[in-house]
């Protein structure tokens, strides 16, 4: 069964890696679009992605929740490190397919984002190709492996030039608020850090979340925080 207000779409079947995902079309398109990628052990139907996509669609964004290439190959299990470049190529194909799929003018700006591994690959793609996205939404960015703070995943951050919103649980073992604040100083673009009190890496959308009220509250906070980040860019004279 499909999620409400979404459509299952195999896109650009001639592309390699192939593109597959679920598309949310807003009732009143704003001209903005968002691509969301899942975490390492999940897929495009992850509850967090579903909720965030629905909130952005309600705000006028066309949203595509995509399955990364490794997940299309294997229904379960984490990605292989040696295949990360293929996952970034898959994200690039998603952006290109979205531009072809939607009517002219409905995707004037495309933003990239995702949860954990998906967000990290989105940020690395944006560092490699600054023109690929107008901004980033990174949910629970995995700053380092748990209990290994010396293994920072920050090498590409100085090459990020898109406004970026980071959403972090204050109990995330992949990076503390203090560590993330320090990392954001490496980025030569506007950034914002949205903290979710007492949340871990799943931002309370995991199997043991136990809280029903977070379902609508957090996605709406993310939309508001991202809009504010973009508006601050306009006030500062930026083009985003």
Q: Does residue 113 fall inside a structural domain?
A: yes
Distance separating alpha carbons of residues 176 and 69, to the nearest angstrom: 30
**Residue 209 sits in a domain of what CATH number?**
3.40.50.1820
Does residue 100 form part of some domain?
Answer: yes
- Residue 162 to residue 188: CA distance in whole angstroms: 9
Residue 15's pLDDT is 76
Closest to 71 measured CA to CA, from 106, 26, 38, 109: 38
What is the domain range of residue 189?
7-73+85-235
- Which range, 21-30, 46-55, 208-217, is most confident? 46-55
The per-residue pLDDT for 210 is 47
Say if 80 falls within a structural domain. Answer: no
| Top-confidence residue, 18 or 110 | 110
User: How many independent structural domains does the chain possess?
Assistant: 1
- Percentage of the chain exceeding pLDDT 70: 85
Residue 226: name the closest of 105, 135, 132 by CA.
135
User: Does residue 119 surpass a pLDDT of 90?
Assistant: yes
pTM over 0.85: yes
- Asked if residue 2 is part of any domain, the answer here is no
Strands 109-115 and 136-139 turn out to be: parallel
The answer as to whether 1 is a domain residue is no
Q: What is the DSSP letter of 120?
A: H
- Asked if the model's pLDDT at residue 105 lies above 70, the reply is no
Q: Say how far apart CA 22 and CA 20 lie, in whole Å.
A: 7
């Amino acid at each position: 069964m499909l999620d409400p207000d979404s459509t299952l779409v195999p896109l650009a079947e001639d592309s390699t890696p192939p593109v597959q995902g679920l598309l949310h079309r807003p009732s009143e398109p704003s001209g903005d679009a968002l691509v969301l990628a899942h975490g390492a052990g999940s897929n495009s139907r992850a509850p967090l992605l579903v909720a965030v996509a629905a909130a952005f669609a309600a705000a006028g964004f066309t949203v595509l929740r995509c399955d990364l290439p490794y997940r299309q190959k294997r229904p379960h299990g984490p990605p292989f490190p040696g295949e990360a470049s293929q996952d970034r190529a898959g994200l690039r194909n998603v952006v290109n397919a979205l531009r072809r799929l939607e009517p002219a003018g409905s995707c004037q700006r495309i933003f990239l984002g995702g949860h954990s591994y998906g967000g990290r690959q989105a940020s690395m793609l944006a560092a490699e190709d600054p023109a690929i996205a107008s901004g980033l939404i990174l949910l629970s960015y995995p700053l380092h492996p748990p209990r290994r703070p010396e293994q920072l995943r920050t090498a590409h951050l100085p090459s990020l030039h898109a406004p970026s919103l980071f959403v972090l649980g204050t109990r995330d073992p992949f990076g503390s608020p203090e560590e993330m604040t320090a990392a954001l100083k490496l980025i030569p673009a506007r950034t914002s850090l949205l903290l979710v009190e007492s949340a871990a890496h799943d931002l309370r959308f995991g199997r043991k979340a136990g809280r029903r009220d977070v379902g609508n509250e957090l996605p709406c906070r993310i939309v508001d925080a991202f809009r504010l980040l973009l508006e601050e860019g306009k006030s500062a004279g930026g083009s985003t």
